Amino acid sequence: MADLRDGTTWVALELTRHGEKLVEDGTLAAEIRRGLDVDEEWPVFVPARIYERKGRKHTVHLMEGYAFVATGLDEVRYFHLETTKIVQQVMATRDPRGIRVLRPIRDSQVADLRRRLIDEVAADIIPGMQVVVTDGTYKQLEGIVVDVEGDYAVVRFELRSLKVISKVPKVFLDTA
């Protein structure tokens, strides 16, 4: 069996009400990074997506009340988050001496949550929605959904010198 320390692992954070409000305005990840005193590249996964449809904000929650942050820092920095307004509790266990230690989560489990969230968002893709492609031939291009056909969306991409309409799997789309 592989050692959890060999790859990326994550720590689950139980959020306060204030932390949950930051999910709604899209600033939670930045606040967690600020609390950990790390840069914007440090991996944080908030299992929710915010998108706009017809001028109104919508949030798809996969797991309300929780966020995940990559391990790799001193444990004290994670536990310090419990002194902020955003984290109720860092998921941990006690060792035989009674000292709290982080309870790591495998990267594969967080990757599964990411896939499930993408599936949830893909279910909400409708014509007229502005999207960005996350994988495949048109990766990182923004476009407008023209039509939806089963698991695919027909997306119009307008580049400076070229206009393209293409079928893209909905799981490769995220709201722009």
**Which residue ranges form the domains of the chain, and what is each CATH number?**
4-123 (3.30.70.940), 130-175 (2.30.30)
In angstroms, the CA 94 to CA 75 distance is 13
Q: Is the pLDDT of residue 72 over 60?
A: yes
pLDDT of residue 16: 97
Q: Is the pLDDT of residue 7 over 90?
A: no
Better-predicted residue by pLDDT, 174 or 54: 174
* Residue 99 Cα distances to 94, 96, 145, angstroms: 5, 7, 53
Nearest 5°: the CA angle 17, 22, 26 is 155
In angstroms, the CA 131 to CA 157 distance is 10
Tens of pLDDT, residues 75-134: 999 999 999 999 999 999 999 999 999 999 999 999 999 888 877 777 778 899 888 898
pLDDT of residue 171: 79
- Please state the pTM of the whole predicted model: 0.72
Mean pLDDT confidence for 44-68? 82
In angstroms, the CA 31 to CA 17 distance is 14
Residue 153 backbone dihedrals phi, psi, to 5 degrees: -120, 140
- How far is CA 154 from its chain centroid? 25
Q: Is the pLDDT of residue 1 over 60?
A: no
* Residue 92 · residue 101 · CB < 8 Å: yes
Length of the chain equals: 176
Among residues 57, 56, 55, 54, the alpha carbon closest in space to that of 23 is found at 57
